[in-house]
Structure 1
């Protein structure tokens, strides 16, 4: 008989720990090749018919994972699994060819009826993390839904036969965003700071120091910043968020950190750009720069190479300043213009 146990941020399936979010490689390494149903672009269901279980992932889920600080990479976009128990009531248009036969526990216990609550698809289930005194700290990060088609039977329909689950089950990863203790009030350090004439070059330096090396503080996160400012901005946008731009313009960078910058490798997926424009697709030139000044570049004695947005013409323009300083400049787009 199969056995699923729901944990705080994942499940144990027949003794195999699955921590969400998952990639297809994670589940394939444990259970082999899945039968894959592509519902739409980058939205897939992965069926394991012998188990009576499917997993679901989509690139569209990555946005929420980033918002909740649960993002790993683009491949880890699987956030739910379904157990097809009845062979009748299903959550998706397609289903496994065989039923799930086995148990379901939550934090090593069968689900108690007093924690079931009415849900649009049947029963939802609350499970709590408690402290040593037995006080609730929070709900677990997993959303558990038991499907019941007939609303009139919801109060009476059995959930278990012994340890065997009797209803179809949806288990979704719903992480709670961890609280931040960052202080976003800009503090001027008691030392000299770098001076920038080119804002987009400054952003590239911040990417290296704040997000790659994590030596420049505070570590800026637009969602935490919004909470800190008690603001309500639209973050589902490809437009620049003015408050984020203003923060980075005002942010002082101690000159003592300049020696840590040895390379600049600009990439459209860099964290700095996602903080300024969370939905930016990298297809415009808003973060490019084609000119720098000798004085700002001389502040970086160990900088030897820059990979920049743009083409060969953009690189050539920068080389006029960078070549005499021993800084190699190469464009991401290598075609000549």
Structure 2
């Protein structure tokens, strides 16, 4: 037996014994069916004692050597189970080791169930029965599955959004965007600078109305909030506004970024524009200040009569 096996072998072997299946009715643990919310005591029997981390709205239970997290509101029941598949380094809110057991979704290995493409953003969602499966992806290409969680959507929690935040179909022709980050830059200009798109989105108001889990004025928001990303993806922008856009200015302090990821530090490239094909929709766009951009792309944009300034 090598030194690695002596130090970590027993933990890895224990993890391999764990079999998890996310289903439309809840979660199957080592062949045992459990509905969500599931008793913490049941998880303790299988995973051992967790580390408890209190947040503003929930209590987070972390099984450090299993790669598993659970969220509770009453210290008795877990309403969401999160499986960490890639280690994220030292962070008090995430397990120290990744999950090494068997993970399935509806009886299918997660790698076969989840289809990841280059066009995916940072997460994917699946609805299976009463269960909501959320898959988080890495930022780098090729995108990898970072974690998978399961939550039960209870009817009483599906609250009606405030009328202002109900997405509406526009009467005119909508702009079809190729690049989501380009769309965010346009929303910054039309919603927050020119105030042509309404309502002016406020993440804290939106979170209170829609009851976003794990996010508040003092909690969460270090990564793009899935519910907010989905809102802006579905937001329709009328082509009549296109001629109003003469400039795009990307900056770490832009309101759009502070609403998508309130705690963003501007140190990564999550909001970098990858495709500039959407320029074709904006005939009066003549100036762009951009996050780090390839020199060839800059020259191509300049050739189209657009003044480019890398940030």
What band does the TM-score fall into relative to the shorter chain? 0.3 to 0.5
Give the TM-score, by structure 1 length: 0.42
Q: TM-score, normalised by structure 2?
A: 0.45
Larger Rg: 1
